[in-house]
Amino acid sequence: MYLKFAEEFEKRMINQGKVDRSIFDTLKLGWELLSILPQRELTRIRRELIQKYYIPNIEGAWEKLETGVKG
């Protein structure tokens, strides 16, 4: 999961090229990436923010995207 986070962070945030996205889209992407990690690892983020923005089971969604599994 840490490797997946690092790869996706580098690909989608660092090496994004010339992307014209709003701050809201950037924050959404940030939460998508953070949601790869277990909630218990997000110790420096306030609990209420995690409850509001964390996307449960996104790791399963990533696996489905990578393997082409639908549903």
pLDDT digits (tens, 9 = 90+) for 2-60: 898 999 999 999 887 788 888 999 999 999 999 999 999 999 999 999 999 999 887 65
Q: Select from 59, 55, 61, 63 the least CA-distant residue to 27.
A: 55
Structural contact between residues 7 and 65, judged by C-beta atoms closer than 8 angstroms = no
CA separation for the pair 34, 54 (Å, rounded): 8
3-state secondary structure of 56: coil
pTM for the model stands at 0.76
**pLDDT band at 71; cut points 50, 70, 90:** very low
CA separation for the pair 38, 60 (Å, rounded): 12
pLDDT computed for residue 6 by the predictor: 94
Phi, psi for residue 21 in degrees, rounded to 5: -130, 150
pLDDT computed for residue 57 by the predictor: 80
